[in-house]
Amino acid sequence: MPVTFFIPGGLREFTDGHSTVEIEHSPATLAEALTVLWTLYPGVRDRIATEQGQVREHINIFIGDENVRYTGGLASLVAAGAEISIVPAVSGGGHP
Amino acid sequence: MIGKVLGHCRVLAKIGEGGMGVVYRAHDEVLHRDVALKVVRNDARLDSTTSQSLLYEARASSSLSHPNICTIHEVGESDGDLYIVMELVEGKSLRAMSADAGLPPESVLRYGVQIASALARAHDRGIIHRDLKTANIVVTSDGLVKVLDFGLAKQVGSGIFEGSTRSFATLQDASSVSGTLPYMAPEILRGDPADYRTDLWALGVVLYEAASGRLPFEGRTGFEISSAIMRELPNPLGPPVPPGLWTIMQRCLAKEPIQRYQRASEVQAALEAVQSAAIVSTAPGPELNAPKTTMLHSVRHTHVKRGDFLLLVGTTKGAFILRSSAQRSRWEVGGPYFHGQNVYAMAYDGRGGQRRIWASTQSYWGTLLRSSDDFGKSWTNPQQAPIRFPSDTGVSLKNIWQIALGPPAEPNVLYCGAEPAALFKTCDAGETWSLVRGLFDHPHRPRWMPGNGGLALHTIVLDPADNQRMYVAISAGGVYRTIDGGHNWTAQNRGIRAMFMPDKYPEFGQCVHKIAMHPRRPERLFLQNHWGLYRSDDSAENWTDIANGVPSDFGFAMLMHPRNPDCVYIVPVESDEFRCACDGRLRVYRTRNGGASWEPLLRGLPQKRAYETVLRDAIAADSFDPVGIYFGTRSGQLLGSRDEGRTWQKILAGLPSVVCVRSAVVEDGSGGLGLTPSKAAQAPSSQAKSRSTSRSRRTRR
């Protein structure tokens, strides 16, 4: 079963307007799944990750309902058919 | 020795032997656990002073508690036998594991991070390993690294050609010449004392050996090895070793300690960066290089024509472009561009016939440098962030605080000041940017401290008379100057106070808020400090206090008059605790005599309950005569004066917090003067008319 990414509005100009992206590969981890995503849509990469490959501070990634910050980060396992959501944190930004 | 009891440990079996002694498996009969027990060799028996020193060192090392450091439980003497009781680590030495062709890069990175982490902890406690080598590093069956024998090498100085310590996990010939020498740093061979950076050299050797199975400096004799260490460069390691890892090794193996990483934590961060980049990065394909352009249809745009005057206003929620005629009495407002994003830096570049607006944007999606060639109707939105720290630095871009134009004769050169504090340069009009390594690798950098707004390089000043000379200001690092085009930098803070430091006049570490130079008099600089106003008349060699009669010498903004090199504008705020206009009265102060005296300029400015703050880049001047001055406040007011500050008018209110104001006169597209001298005073070289120069610019889509 394909893994599905849900793309937030702010990134859709880099995914040709798509709000969901399905990848046919069977990635074992989130890192592998992301690698496939930004091979397809390179502009997404720098929005989600720093140049050092860390997920940005105010970006949350959920596999299903689980925030990957608590399930192993980029090494979190991705099951077949998983739904991966990319969500800017509500606390983003340093100013009110 | 077998069966003997030392302390409360019964010796069970010999498990290893090294230059310093024999290692046994023993059983702690009190705590009921197996331990490793190292007994100093008879033939290495130490005199009593050395013995006491070894005991002292071992006890100090026993205070280290870290998952990657083999714990020392106990040290003591029994019947004249000096012994050390340690955690029993069972595994393979890194030396044995990398013996053939080296380990896969992923393993080298994984182990390297743990070794660097162990060194960082020890260095924090003031303990230097002094004998780090692959034989002293054991990897357990579950992949955990343990570094052995911390701090034990110092006291055993019987000869550099002997392996001074030995892992019990490797049964090496103690008399082998290859024991320690190949890991020794050049300064040790010169007879200098070891410091933390000596361990970082050894870490470089360890990484090289782990990745390749070879030592970086080899020879048939000790003399040949020493000679290679002192003079030769290691053979480069290509794929599968990632370039980032090779860069880290090279930096660890710099001959001079000052050129290496200065802290183990920096090596750790760099290794982690390569590690994670290896996980999540893909090689940029051709598509990645094509910048996207965002057309902003739902935003109100200004209709700019030749001769118009522009104010570029960056705020914490986006950018605005204000257009007016030379009369500057009516304003058309475009924007907000970049809804909700911080825009800390803007610039107008009219060099070489272009009409380009630059802006830095920061949001939870990262920090980008963007440009518009049509006054904001469309902006670049690059797929890959153009300004980025190299992977070996372990550092990520947080914000861009300053965009400065290069010399007029080099219209493709620009600089950006970044947070964390660093300088970036482009020589191709922003197509590619590179980190100015001369400043980033400065040995002071690890000791710069973030100011309230972060650790930022916020001001860049070029000397129009000397294109090799340049100044930057860092909060809180101070003023740095290069006189060789950025290769070397020196701290230039003599006479500037640092109220928050034990030494009030340190070499560096001052929280400088702004510096300004007049292009006609480049040896003179003015400086607004975190407490303090200063002037230098000798290219920042010395600074003199010029806070003569201002209500407070605390403030952020500082602006040169575009024509008068004795005239400077500031906006004092009350204190670092109460960063608002003094007494709730918004007053700009001006000196027309180089700081000998200051006068308040307040006509038209609110003088009651005006708790305003003007930030460091939120002030600009124009090129008209008389000169116009413009500034924005944190409360979102934009104010201007058409008579050099004598009277002020409100231009706009209700903006988000203003962080940046820049001005420009729009000339025709054939190489006219685009940037007003106000901006030129801060990037002085852009004042003169530029020659029309052919430039490469990617096609926008």
- Establish if B343 touches chain A: CB-CB under 8 angstroms: no
CATH 2.130.10.10 range(s) for chain B read 301-686
pLDDT one-digit tens code per residue, B317-336 = 999 999 999 999 999 999 99
Confidence category of residue B53, pLDDT binned at 50, 70, 90: low
CATH 3.30.200.20 range(s) for chain B read 5-87
CATH 1.10.510.10 range(s) for chain B read 91-280
Instruction: Check pLDDT > 70 for residue B338.
Output: yes
Q: Which residue has the higher pLDDT, B2 or B348?
A: B348
pTM over 0.80: no
Q: A23 in a domain, yes or no? A: yes
Confidence category of residue B678, pLDDT binned at 50, 70, 90: very low
The pLDDT of B681-699, averaged and rounded, is 35
Q: CA of A31: which chain B residue's CA is closest?
A: B280
Closest residue to B280, CB basis, from A74, A92, A95:
A74
Q: In whole angstroms, how far apart are CA B149 and each of A77, B61, B129, B133?
A: 38, 9, 7, 10
Closest residue to A47, CB basis, from B287, B366, B395:
B366
Collapsing DSSP states into helix, strand and coil, what is residue A77? strand
Q: A95 in a domain, yes or no? A: no
Give pLDDT, residue B143: 81
Q: What is the mean pLDDT of chain B?
A: 85
- Establish if B283 touches chain A: CB-CB under 8 angstroms: no
The Cα of A1 is separated from the nearest Cα of chain B by a number of Å equal to: 23
pLDDT one-digit tens code per residue, B181-204 = 999 999 999 888 888 999 999 999
Chain A residues within an 8 Å CB radius of B272: 52
Rg (CA), chain B: 31
pLDDT one-digit tens code per residue, B115-135 = 999 999 988 888 888 889 998
Least confident of B271-280, B520-529, B581-590: B271-280
Architecture, CATH, for domain B301-686: 7 Propeller (2.130)
Dump the DSSP string for B190-253.
TTPPP-HHHHHHHHHHHHHHHHHSS-SS--SSHHHHHHHHHHPPPPP--TTS-HHHHHHHHHHT
- Establish if A42 touches chain B: CB-CB under 8 angstroms: yes
Q: A22 in a domain, yes or no? A: yes
Closest residue to B292, CB basis, from A13, A50, A54:
A13
- Establish if A87 touches chain B: CB-CB under 8 angstroms: no
The Cα of A74 is separated from the nearest Cα of chain B by a number of Å equal to: 8
Q: Do A52 and B272 touch (CB under 8 A)?
A: yes
Whether B375 and B363 have beta carbons less than 8 Å apart is answered as no
Statement: B5-87 belongs to CATH 3.30.420.40: no
Q: Which of A30, A36, A40, A52 to mutate to test the interface with B (most CBs of B within 10 A)?
A: A52
Dump the DSSP string for B243-281.
HHHHHHHHHHT-SSGGGS-S-HHHHHHHHHHHHHHHHH-
Confidence category of residue B47, pLDDT binned at 50, 70, 90: low
Q: Do B276 and A45 touch (CB under 8 A)?
A: no
Query: In this structure, what DSSP letter does residue B689 have?
Result: P
- Its ipTM equals 0.91
pLDDT one-digit tens code per residue, B65-84 = 888 998 888 888 777 778 88
Phi then psi dihedrals of residue B69, to 5 deg: -120, 130
Domain harbouring A10, CATH code: 3.10.20.30
| Structural domain that includes position A77 | 3-88
Instruction: Check pLDDT > 60 for residue B173.
Output: no
Give pLDDT, residue B149: 80
Query: In this structure, what DSSP letter does residue B670 have?
Result: T
* CATH code matching the domain that covers B91-280, chosen among 1.10.510.10, 1.10.1240.10, 1.10.540.10, 2.40.30.10: 1.10.510.10
SS3 of B334-403: the string is EEEECCCCECCCEEEECHHHCCEEEEEEEECCEEEEEEECCCCCEEEECCCCCCCCCHHHCCCCCEEEEE
The Cα of B608 is separated from the nearest Cα of chain A by a number of Å equal to: 26
Q: Do A42 and B282 touch (CB under 8 A)?
A: yes
Rg (CA), chain A: 13
Confidence category of residue B551, pLDDT binned at 50, 70, 90: very high
pLDDT one-digit tens code per residue, B396-451 = 999 999 999 999 999 999 999 999 999 999 999 999 999 999 999 999 998 898 87
Q: In whole angstroms, how far apart are CA B9 and each of B36, B89, B195, B525?
A: 10, 16, 34, 70
What residue spans of B571-621 are helical by DSSP H? Answer: none
Chain B residues within an 8 Å CB radius of A88: 364-365
The residues that bridge with B366 in the sheet, in sequence order, are B363
Dihedral, CA of residue B620, residue B522, residue B497 and residue B570, to nearest 10: -20
Q: A54 in a domain, yes or no? A: yes
Query: Residues with Cβ < 8 Å from B514, sequence gap 6 or more?
Result: B458, B459, B473, B527, B528, B556, B557, B558, B616
Query: Of the ranges B54-68, B261-275, B611-625, which is most confident?
Result: B611-625
- The number of distinct structural domains making up chain A is 1
How many interchain CB pairs under 8 A, A with B? Answer: 94
Q: CA-to-CA distance for B154 and B199, rounded, in angstroms? A: 12
